[in-house]
Amino acid sequence: MGERLRDKVAIVTGASRGIGAAIAAHMAEEGAKVVLVSRKIEGLQAVADEIRGNSGDATPIPCHAGRADQRQDMLDQALKAYGKVDILVNNAATNPHFGPMLTIDDRAWDKTFEVNVKGYFGMIQLVAGHLQKRKAKGSIVNIASVVGMMGAPMQGVYAMTKAAVISMTKTLAMELGGVGIRVNAIAPGLIETKFAEVLVGNEEFRKMIVDRTAAGRVGQPRDIAGGAVFLASDESDYLTGDVMTIDGGWTLA
């Protein structure tokens, strides 16, 4: 067990699998008490059991990040369990429409923005408010995407939400820096997760990405977890408003 996040409490959304589960596990390895958040308890329980099996401390709390009442209830439960929150990792995301932008319907549009933008912002409002009430320093890490910084055919609306997350990160970093709350983002490239299955499972697309990626491979969830731990820790105390690109060099080409 490490100690980079010793005595810290972290909320990680979208923690039932993939990038969120990897971040939560790595934070627990570094000494953090971790609140695991996702819509369904089943996947969270498995992640919590694994963390506890490795001598970590984790509490699973089901919550739809896009719903204000559920967010507040989640925070209340987290504070009851651990007494405070120091770190927020906004990772929960959805992408119900894969296809040309102009073919998306209102329902898919609304769902994408509700989870990917409104959910992130609502979680930040809650945690930042809690930190300010405590007069405590804190770290917020938003998981964005490289597609939020480039054209993204077939993923256009999802990419729009990630561009919004990047903008949100920079503005909140400026607004909250004076009270000791740092806000940074990570922009992953293509990561091998169930969420990205439509991309990583397509051999032609996968080969196209790998061929232009300096690292010569698709990323793994653990590749993102290290960056999140760094941004959450005191090692990055003078870093805010940054977008850390972790894509194996995909966007270099």
- Which residues on adjacent β-strands are paired with residue 182? 139
Residue 98, SS3? coil
In this structure, the strands spanning 138-143 and 87-90 are parallel
CA-CA distance, 51 to 180, in Å (whole number)? 29
Task: Kindly state the tokens that stand for 87.
Answer: 């770190």
CA-CA distance, 107 to 109, in Å (whole number)? 5
Give whole-number Cα distances, 83 to 7, 80, 130, 141, in Å: 11, 6, 11, 21
> 73: exposed, middle or buried (C-beta count within 10 Å: 0-12, 13-18, 19+)?
middle
- Sign of torsion, CA 62 195 94 252? positive
CA-CA distance, 224 to 19, in Å (whole number)? 7
Catalytic choice (82, 120, 158, 238): 158
Check if 158 is active-site.
Answer: yes
What radius of gyration, in Å, describes the C-alpha atoms of the chain? 17
Give the catalytic positions in this structure.
158
